[in-house]
Structure 1
Amino acid sequence: MRPLRRITVLAALALALLAPAGAALAHEERPVTFPDGSGSVPVLRTEDPDLLVCKTDRADFERRVAGFPADLRERNLRLFADCQENGVRHLQEAVDRVDEPGMTIAILPGLYREEPSQAPPTGECARLPARWSDWGYQILSYEQQVLCPHNQNLVAILGKENLQIEGTGAGPLDVIVDAEYRKLNAIRADRTNGIYFRNLTAQRTTFNSLYVLETDGFAIDRVLTRWNDEYGFLTFASDHGLYTDCESYGNGDGGLYPGSASNINDGRGHDVPRYAIEIRRCKSHDNALGYSGTAGDSVWAHDNEFYDNMVGATMDSLWPDHPGLPQNHALFENNKIYDNNRDYYRFTRDGTCSRPPAERGYEQGVVCPQVGVPPGTGVIVAGGNHNVFRNNHLWNNRGAAFQLFGVPAFIRGEGDLAKQADTSNHNRFEANVLGVAPTGERRPNGRDVWWDGQGTGNCWQPGVALTTPAALPRCGARAPELSGGSDRLLAEPVKIAKLFLCSDFNAAQARLPAGCDWFGASGPGRVETQLALGGSLVLGLVAVLFWVRAHRAARRRRGTPGGNGVPPGVGEAGERRLRLISAGSVVGLTGLALDVVAAAMDDPYLTGVALLLVAGWSICLGAALRPGAFAWFTIVLGLLTVADAYDRMVGLIPLIPLGPGWIRGLLTGVWVLWAVVHLAPRRTRTEEKTPGDREAVA
């Protein structure tokens, strides 16, 4: 590893070690392994079911089916009559009767509370030797799930193969499996290769409505999930999966979460033979996140709608113990991602989310966010690689259409120095329609792109506007072609400070970091503004001190009777220095003030202009102080500031692992200390010198 890159990686490691403790809190699961990939996506079977599930209240049943089309109503009445004689009353009872692969369970319209499963654990199940997660539940092994299936699950489907579970109603809401906030999961399908869920609703859990784990081959078809502390759909460590025509809302994390999808494309470029999970024609709305994908690898999401969430979709490498990290190879195309401007943190602030889940009011629109995210964002890629976003419509996301930032490997629990900057690489954003609704109405996003600057091989389509940085690498005609690319191991320093601060959110402790605009800070209250103000005050004070010293020297020179020995050349040089310092100070102080305004407005162009003005001051001051090492150092610092402005406004400077902002920031600290020494009064032998000699020293 080259020395500069090694130093940069060490800096990334240091930043990772400073990560807030709250970053360890997320979905925790037992150690899992990916399927071998030999399965396939199951296909809907249409023959008569093997097992029937129904309730006994005929009047209630007839009311539920009264509005169905005639043929569907007649089918349900026939099945109801059969079910009274040969069926069961609870879905779990039917699952327990499955004794061979390929069986089908039909659930008739009704509300299924699964009363026998609600009882609290007793005996051995009440004393399982398993670790407790930070969220207050035990991390149970598969064997413990089999031994005690209802410690955490209302309906536990364990080890069944090619099982189909289908509601017989006209829509998902005709069959409701309701956990009533008594269980972590409404339905858990664990090691259930070939499982097919269709036409039902699962709701009201303290974790997740429908959970599919370590499964090769699953389908979620016309299923609705809602009102959960965490996720609507969670599929984990699985392959050959399909979500189709589903819906999810009212969830504190993601409506759809294909986490740790089988990592079949790891190490590949953009040439992808297949995807592990397909998500199509689903709607996810009124959640903290419409889509969440920690290690959401090899997921193809197309023709979906993500709207009215805090964030439309995220994929990330943030949480440890998720197989398949860092996240890679998601393909998002032809999705509509819009109006993701909800701010549910108000329910954290007012104490609503501190109540028991059943008392929070999820059914009335309350959502209790479990994650710290920037509301108003269409898509966030937090430490992902080789993701492609094309032909999507993104409009009226008031923060940004796309956010991309890197995540050091230590955050996910990896200490290898060579891996610390291994995320945020080769992501492509191309041919997306930004700021225009499908009707043609102009509905701009707050900005099109927010990027921290880290990574290599990332590119964006032409025509993106209001981006930070202001100039972005452009995608070529075919992957991995691009122009104006960069290779940065560390993000911009101010953006790292912002991400570090904002990541200190903690749902359990109701901790909302002050200074982060994700949680309501604005203008002078934003950490970016405070950092800019602090730096401007220090540099402004130094500028004023140099100006004051120059004017004092001029007054001494001008107050000497008849010049009294001041050589003419020395006097003229002093006047030139005064003019340079005075003009430079005006320019510099203007730039420093503008930098604070730019930070408050989050405007990279204003920031670039401010940097150019500050650079003008540095160069003028250095020229006035020549000769001497400090003078030349000041000029070099000014030139670096020009490079920083160019990097932000015109184009990222290639072939450097650190942006000029890092070098400028570090050298500015050295310069300020040197300036203090330079300005400090010194006891010298000036009393023995002529006024002209003293002017020369000044």
Structure 2
Amino acid sequence: MRTRNITCLAAVAVITTTGLATALPSAATTAHDHHVVRPGESIQKAVDAAQPGDTVVVLPGTYRESVLITTPDLTLTGSGDRTVIMPGTTAGGTPGTTAGGTPGTAAGATVNACAKGGNGICVLGTSAKPVGGVNIRSLTVSGFGKSGIWGSWTDRLSVHKVTTEKNGTWGIAQERSTRGAFRSNTARDNGDAGIFVANTVDEEGGATDTLGTDIRDNRLTGNRIGITARRVRNLAIDDNTMTGNCSGVFVVGDESKPKAGAMTVQDNRIVANNKFCPETPRLSAIQGTGIVLTGSESTVVRNNLVQDNVGSTPLSGGIVLFKSFVGSPNTDNAISDNVVRDNRPADLANRDTGTGNTFTRNECGTSEPAGMC
């Protein structure tokens, strides 16, 4: 169903010196549609029918499908934890209706690239034509094999007040993209990072300038890593809460040029990330890790509360500098004005040989090497 919202400017009357009223021509009329989706209907069908500037409103219910968005300036919005998107119930996790009609399952939906990739909601552009201005609001995306929300070749992708939970890899993820805004979301119990921002996931290359991607006021809990920023530059990780993960924040770089970094990590609350995660082919085991920088340059870490992160892995500690997987050192990073308490084996740890890294005005009890508190 569609309901049309019309915005226009009324004509303005001008009184002339002769006392006659002359009406000016009215301004151009701008119209955008609202497409309303009810339980049992297809979100994808409404998205496909939408034009730039339209809003797709998903009413409370459970919807078993993956949603692919390629239309710019589209808003997809629901009712928070009352609007749930889950994997489809037919073979291969594709959307559709089971025999007898499963309640809340979209009828007549077809397999798309998002479903094939194991993702819940995808915003997909191309290098020649990134998708800009998509807004995703007030939804719950749960149980997908890969990511809850996946963006590739996007610009100004905004995800706000969304819950992503129990997805196999990432809660909210973005690659090859710029000017993303991920604010006031909850990402819990996802297989890897709650929020993941990267240059690319399928090839090597220098860090992407995200042009100011903003990760702010999110709650990340029960994931492998709260927030991962991998081979990216020019972004902010601000005012987030991370607890119960294996690690809070991971800034990942390597020897590629340009290097990862040139970002801020500030005003976050990173407490008791003591879940144990076993080693992987590219990373040692993780437990009790607050903030880790590997292969990063010119990153500012300031005004964070990092407390009660306890573990015995090579990456354990409050704020840790560590060589990247390929041995690339950290350089010219500034760690200042943080409250770093009761982390073990150390509050501050520089386990790297890079140059230009500074630790100043931090409130802490222990450090490696000694003397940084």
TM class by shorter chain equals: 0.7 to 0.9
1:400 equivalent in alignment to 2:317? yes
Query: What do residues 501-524 of structure 1 show as CA deviations (whole Å, max 9, x unaligned)?
Result: xxxxxxxxxxxxxxxxxxxxxxxx
**Alignment partner of 1:430 out of 318, 336, 343:** 336
**Counterpart residue identity of residue 185, structure 1:** N
1:166 and 1:197 in contact (8 A); partners too:
yes
Q: Which residue of 2 aligns with 1:683?
A: none
2:4 matched to which residue of 1? none
Q: Is the 8 A contact 2:277 2:286 kept in 1?
A: no
Matching residue of 2:188: 249
Structure 2 gaps of 5+ residues are: 1-30, 94-114, 126-130, 201-206, 311-315
- What residue identity is the alignment partner of 1:343? F
Q: CA separation in 2, counterparts of 1:396 and 1:325?
A: 34
Alignment partner, residue 94 of structure 1: 46
Q: Which residue identity does 2:157 align to in structure 1?
A: F
Alignment counterpart, residue 262 of structure 2, candidates 329, 336, 339:
329
Q: Where in structure 2 are the equivalents of 1:286-305 lying within 5 Å?
A: 286-305=222-241
Which residue in the other structure is 1:203 paired with?
142
> Are 1:253 and 1:369, in contact at CA under 8 Å, matched by a contact in 2?
no
Deviation at 1:263, TM superposition (A): 3.4
CA–CA distance in structure 1, aligned partners of residues 147 and 258 of structure 2: 22
TM-score by length of 2: 0.74
CA positional deviation for 1:465: 3.4
- Counterpart for residue 164 of structure 1: 75
In structure 1, distance between residues paired with 2:318 and 2:137: 33
Tell me how far apart the structure 1 counterparts of residues 195 and 318 of structure 2 sit (CA, whole Å).
19
Larger proportion of helix: 1
| Matching of residues 600-679 of structure 1 within 5 Å | none
Q: What is the rounded CA distance, in whole Å, between the counterparts of 1:155 and 1:369 in structure 2?
A: 32
| Equivalent position to 1:188, from 104, 113, 122 | 122
Counterpart position of 2:249:
313
Aligned-residue CA RMSD (Å): 2.6
Is there any run of 5+ residues in structure 1 with no aligned partner, and where? 1-46, 57-88, 115-153, 266-274, 349-367, 412-419, 436-442, 475-698
Q: Deviations for 1:634-655, whole angstroms, at most 9, x for unmatched residues?
A: xxxxxxxxxxxxxxxxxxxxxx
TM-score with structure 1 setting the length: 0.41
Map of 1:456 onto structure 2: 355
Aligned mates of 2:257, 2:135 — CA distance in 1: 25
Residues 409-448 of structure 1 correspond to what in structure 2 (within 5 A)? 411=326, 421=328, 423-435=329-341, 443-448=342-347
**What displacement does 1:91 show?**
0.9
Q: 1 or 2, which has the higher strand percentage?
A: 2
CA distance in 1, matches of 2:198, 2:285: 18
Q: CA deviation at 1:373?
A: 3.9
For the residues of structure 2 that align with 1:329 and 1:215, how far apart are their CA atoms?
Answer: 21
Which letter does structure 2 place at the counterpart of 1:166?
T
The answer (yes or no) to whether the contact 1:397–1:446 under 8 Å persists in 2 is no
Correspondence 1:371-520 to 2 at 5 A: 372-398=284-310, 399-407=316-324, 411=326, 421=328, 423-435=329-341, 443-462=342-361, 463-472=363-372
Aligned residue pairs total 300
Q: Which residue of structure 2 aligns with residue 228 of structure 1?
A: 167
Rounded to whole Å, the distance in 2 between the matches of 1:103 and 1:48 is: 5
Going from structure 1 to structure 2, the CA distance change for 1:210 and 1:460 (only over 3 Å counts) comes to: same
Helix, strand or coil at the partner of 1:240:
coil
Task: Calculate percent identity across the aligned residue pairs.
Answer: 23
1:324 and 1:228, CA in 2 relative to 1: closer, same or farther beyond 3 A?
A: farther
1:51 aligns with 2:35: yes
Query: Is the Cα contact below 8 Å between 2:339 and 2:364 reproduced in 1?
Result: no
> Do residues 176 (structure 1) and 84 (structure 2) align?
yes
Map 1:73-112; keep pairs closer than 5 Å: 89-98=41-50, 100-112=51-63
1:229, CA displacement in angstroms?
1.5
Q: What amino acid maps onto 1:255 in structure 2? A: G
CA distance in structure 1 between the aligned counterparts of 2:358 and 2:274, rounded to whole angstroms = 26
Q: Larger Cα Rg: Structure 1 or Structure 2?
A: 1
Cα deviation, 1:150-194, whole Å, max 9, x if unaligned, reads xxxx22112x11011011x2xx21111102683411111012210
Distance of 2:217 and 2:33 partners within structure 1? 27
* Large movers: runs of 4+ above 4 Å: 368-371
Partner residue, 1:66: none
